Structure 1
């Protein structure tokens, strides 16, 4: 990853103006996305995420601010120059958007035909991409013969056909089941590693961001609420918008009970061991687990729990000290946002 932004958004604004009123979809968005990033943009429904991703490639023209890709200010380009820049940007969607009357190979060749590549070269490129996404045996199949995950793999191959520098993913896994989602996210991570392509993930699911992204921006009501490294935003959310997304990602209870409650975050720095059971034995105190969402990834612990602590302050302090000694991030939920 470099230090010079590949994508730079400066004071980005998008308004929709009708005869009777104006609606501001985006306001004051400032973001730097570095080459090689897997960058998550997350927010609740209606927050402005999809509008933002369409502004990045000028499918929606911003009403204010600047989008710079590489050394090009998109607002200064004519239509021909803009089409040239868009060839460097692949895009995949929630509903796949495949051409149902074309087979898999022809779907992937379609953007290459538009760019003027010969038919033989296009088919060669399609074969390479089908191998990359693990669908070499589906070359002559039609979209109606494929599963949702296979359709999205074809869509990814098609998006990569013109060798883009950037891949925009607009809710690309929302229509898929959890197992298929993980396989598609694994494929995107592999593509990022092999090709060095910059990936932008638009999603409303914190679990998707945690799984694949290294940086995240949280959009709330058309504004940038919070941005930073995923592990930092996940473990120590600062804004109400971030807290809602992080806490609700595990169906957290909407109201804390008890005098003191803590949220503990497993961010991969601690081994997956029975931390809570060991804590109960060590501190000789019971806690109430209000919710838990933890998983073991390569022997490391990821996830979060909310615990209600005992009334005794000394024992509660001892529990917090013990957890911190086990490299677990601990946060007291004083201002929990339900």
Structure 2
């Protein structure tokens, strides 16, 4: 494998205010390989949008370096930086369309700036609108479109530049769940068909689970955890990761006097009879505090949180019973807010 297409080395970004200095990013280091769909996730204010703006130098890091295809952006001339930016497209939560231009003209706009002839630009734009399934809306105006259609126009406009990298900053946050799934499916298709590396910035773990192969978790400007989506979902190590994995689930109370465990299973693991058999084997009941199944990168992944009996010997026997059946078992020692 060659060099990663994106290398972030010890990036720090500070902002000066009237009374203080705010560090939005603190020594972030990441590598993103060509062709990946890479998620960067964190709660509001974590610094993830600042990080993505450093990837195309809309924000220049205070310290550290960003390399695109091995080229250090901090050492680029203005001309070289413009060339790099042409290969790094970006879409946003609120679409940023030109409201007085038709869908077709919105897609043509960036091509016109590059000096492409009008006829050639229109032909290319129509071809791209076909890719995003909007060719019938070519002459419509943004005000006549749904939120999902507007985002498809934004994606089409970004594809017009023939980018190698597509940055998506909360691109589905303003959309309903059904439309979100359709946009994510489109991005996945674009990644697979054209080999474009996609970086997804989001606060929603469901988005990462749906489309990403790898994920970085940012908390308070620091890198809390990285790994494959499967690894992070199955065995979150940092407190930030645990918050995101459990966020949006039915809340469960972990009592200090009782042990609670989280079991992770795949579509090949039938956990229901295992739990029933465990109860029969150990002759003790458990409380099921949470149980659900989610799609993680196209594979069904589930989790269950059990409250074990107070008897330590029985609890240990249950944990060993589950481990003997190749289930991932994690002890939970506190309540995840």
| TM-score above 0.5, yes or no | yes
The CA deviation at 1:79 is 1.6
TM-score, normalisation: structure 2: 0.92
In structure 2, the residue corresponding to 1:219 is in which secondary structure?
strand
Q: Which residue of 2 aligns with 1:242?
A: 241
Are the aligned partners of 1:205 and 1:249 in contact in 2 as well (CA < 8 Å)? Answer: no
Q: Which residue of 1 aligns with 2:28?
A: 29
Are the aligned partners of 1:270 and 1:327 in contact in 2 as well (CA < 8 Å)? Answer: no
Q: Which residue of 1 aligns with 2:12?
A: 13
Q: Which residue of 1 aligns with 2:129?
A: 130
Superimposed CA distance per residue, residues 303-327 of structure 1 (whole angstroms, 9 cap, x where no aligned partner): 3221212334455445434544555
Q: Which residue of 2 aligns with 1:78?
A: 77
Say which is worse superposed, 319-328 or 81-90, in terms of deviation: 319-328
Are the aligned partners of 1:279 and 1:319 in contact in 2 as well (CA < 8 Å)? Answer: no
1:7 and 1:176 map into 2 onto residues whose CA distance is 28
Q: Which residue of 2 aligns with 1:159?
A: 158
In structure 1, the residue corresponding to 2:5 is in which secondary structure?
strand
The CA deviation at 1:270 is 2.1
Are the aligned partners of 2:292 and 2:302 in contact in 1 as well (CA < 8 Å)? Answer: yes
Q: Which residue of 1 aligns with 2:268?
A: 270
The CA deviation at 1:74 is 0.6
Are the aligned partners of 1:97 and 1:155 in contact in 2 as well (CA < 8 Å)? Answer: yes
Distance 1:293-1:29 versus aligned 2 partners, 3 A rule: same
Question: What is the aligned length?
Answer: 334
TM-score, normalisation: structure 1: 0.91
Matches within 5 A, 1:1-338: 2-253=1-252, 255-256=254-255, 259-266=258-265, 268=266, 270=268, 273=270, 275-281=271-277, 283-284=279-280, 285-295=284-294, 301-313=300-312, 315-324=314-323, 327-338=326-337
1:18 and 1:51 map into 2 onto residues whose CA distance is 16
The CA deviation at 1:69 is 0.5
Are the aligned partners of 2:210 and 2:297 in contact in 1 as well (CA < 8 Å)? Answer: no
1:155 and 1:249 map into 2 onto residues whose CA distance is 29
Are the aligned partners of 2:216 and 2:223 in contact in 1 as well (CA < 8 Å)? Answer: yes
